[in-house]
């Protein structure tokens, strides 16, 4: 669709003014308006109001950076960016001797040009369905331990070397812990073939190519009892084996109405005791609870596939509950900011959230900005809380 020139020009003006003005000089969490007091834009800025508590970031697709409106919103509120997909092993390394750097190069260039930091995401994704066949096989047989560790090392060396100048943090290994009561590690080619050694190798390789970066073990639901014990066991064991793990990446895909808060509190305490930092790496709050999708062998899936309660918008009552939970969560982050290095949202606005498709298609509202990029009541509430504290 063609955009009217006036809109394009005003968007460009916003971008230019963000990069040209001494933007973040106010104490109330807003952009500095002294040069244009007639400015009527919403000048509140998350990174300004968060201040030095922790870094505030967002994960976005590389295509999002092409949109002037999205780019302006990113620059107004965030200081660190995670590439949503393009840097993942299957995106950047499609065959053993083939690399696909283009999208990630553009992403990194955007970060460099706009003085933003990058999170490298992710170097190893420890799931078979997220791993290419070439990584898993060798001359038609299952890959050997030596070859797999060597391939991991080559992958990590290559990617980390290429982006070390702009990446301050790396999700070195993603989702290696098993769900449920079973083994510590998820059953994957990595654990089947090397036990825990693939994690050690990946972390040591990352450290050797980017000595100053924060190295993260990233996973979901590790605040829940059961998986939390596994996380602590894994981190303890990795330390013993000399893997330089600096932080746990708490993905933070929460749901409205879940009971995460006390569990989060306990998890922060356990990690503090262990001497491991935390990044909240993929924050969002699903307003449509999704647990039933996996319950009872998936028998509700047909019914859920057409369940789309908020397709006409979020009722005020739910909007309020979302705002309240976001405030509680950010209060907790604030209280634990001695060990939290970064909080990143997963996607920029509601229209771009992966939760519109996962695990079934529905209109979702999990973020602080709505589909028009307008701050929601949850944004207002979080902003006010941070401003007051």
Residues with catalytic roles: 175, 282
d(CA 200, CA 245): 9
Nearer residue to ligand GLA within complex by CB, 281 or 319: 281
Q: Is 282 in the site for ligand GLA (CB under 6 A)?
A: yes
Burial profile 30-62: b = 16 or more Cβ within 10 angstroms, e = fewer: bbeeeeeeeeeeebbbbbbbbeebbbbbbbbbb
3-class secondary-structure state, position 216? strand
3-class secondary-structure state, position 77? helix
Nearer residue to ligand GLA within complex by CB, 221 or 267: 221
Cα→Cα distances 311→107, 308, 361, 364, Å: 32, 6, 11, 8
Ranges within 209-238 binding ligand GLA (CB under 6 A) = 220
Q: Is 293 in the site for ligand GLA (CB under 6 A)?
A: no
The torsion angle over the Cα atoms of residues 254, 255, 257 and 260, rounded to 10 degrees, is -20
Ranges within 170-209 binding ligand GLA (CB under 6 A) = 174
Nearer residue to ligand GLA within complex by CB, 220 or 379: 220
Residue showing the smallest CB distance to ligand GLA in the complex = 354
Q: Minimal distance in Å, beta carbon 347 to ligand GLA?
A: 8
Counting residues that bind ligand GLA (by CB under 6 A) gives 5
3-class secondary-structure state, position 226? coil
Q: Is 251 in the site for ligand GLA (CB under 6 A)?
A: yes
Are the C-beta atoms of 254 and 267 separated by less than 8 Å? no
d(CA 164, CA 169): 9
Q: Minimal distance in Å, beta carbon 234 to ligand GLA?
A: 17
**CA nearest to 77, candidates 40, 111, 43:** 43
Among 99, 134, 354, 360, binds ligand GLA (CB under 6 A): 354
Are the C-beta atoms of 285 and 314 separated by less than 8 Å? no
Nearer residue to ligand GLA within complex by CB, 69 or 282: 282
Q: Minimal distance in Å, beta carbon 365 to ligand GLA?
A: 16
Q: Minimal distance in Å, beta carbon 57 to ligand GLA?
A: 14
Q: Minimal distance in Å, beta carbon 92 to ligand GLA?
A: 13
Nearer residue to ligand GLA within complex by CB, 17 or 85: 85
Binding positions for ligand GLA, rule: CB under 6 A: 174, 220, 251, 282, 354
């Amino acid at each position: 669709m063609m955009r009217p020139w006036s809109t394009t020009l005003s968007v460009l003006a916003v971008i230019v003014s963000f990069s040209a003005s001494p933007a973040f000089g106010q104490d109330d969490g807003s952009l500095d308006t002294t040069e244009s007091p007639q400015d009527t834009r919403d000048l509140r800025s998350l990174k300004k109001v968060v201040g030095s508590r922790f870094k505030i970031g967002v994960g976005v697709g590389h295509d999002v950076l092409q949109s002037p409106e999205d780019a302006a919103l990113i620059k107004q509120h965030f200081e660190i960016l995670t590439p949503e997909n393009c840097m993942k092993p299957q995106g950047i390394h499609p065959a053993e001797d083939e690399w696909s750097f283009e999208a990630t190069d553009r992403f990194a260039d955007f970060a460099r040009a706009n003085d933003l930091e990058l999170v490298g995401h992710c170097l190893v994704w420890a799931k078979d369905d997220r791993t290419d066949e070439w990584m898993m096989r060798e001359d038609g047989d299952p890959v050997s331990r030596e070859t797999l560790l060597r391939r991991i090392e080559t992958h990590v060396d290559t990617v980390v070397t290429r982006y070390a100048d702009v990446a301050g943090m790396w999700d070195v290994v993603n989702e290696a812990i098993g769900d449920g009561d079973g083994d510590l590690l998820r059953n994957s080619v990595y654990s089947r073939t090397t036990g825990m050694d693939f994690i050690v190798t990946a972390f040591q390789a990352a450290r050797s190519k980017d000595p100053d970066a924060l190295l993260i073990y990233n996973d979901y639901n590790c605040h829940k009892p059961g998986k939390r014990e596994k996380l602590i066991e894994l981190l303890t064991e990795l330390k013993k084996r000399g893997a330089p793990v600096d932080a746990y990446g708490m993905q933070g895909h929460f749901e409205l109405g879940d009971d995460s808060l006390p569990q989060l509190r306990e998890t922060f305490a356990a990690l503090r005791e262990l001497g491991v930092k935390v990044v909240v790496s993929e924050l969002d709050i699903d307003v449509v609870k999704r647990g039933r999708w996996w319950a009872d062998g998936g028998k509700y899936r047909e019914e859920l596939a057409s369940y789309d309660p908020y397709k006409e918008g979020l009722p005020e009552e739910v909007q309020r509950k979302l705002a309240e939970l976001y405030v509680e969560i950010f209060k907790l982050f604030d209280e634990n900011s001695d060990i939290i290095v970064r909080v990143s949202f997963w996607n920029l606005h509601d229209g771009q959230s992966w939760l519109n498709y996962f695990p079934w298609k529905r209109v979702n509202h999990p973020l602080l900005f709505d589909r028009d990029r307008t701050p929601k009541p949850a944004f207002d509430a979080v902003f006010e809380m941070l401003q007051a504290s």
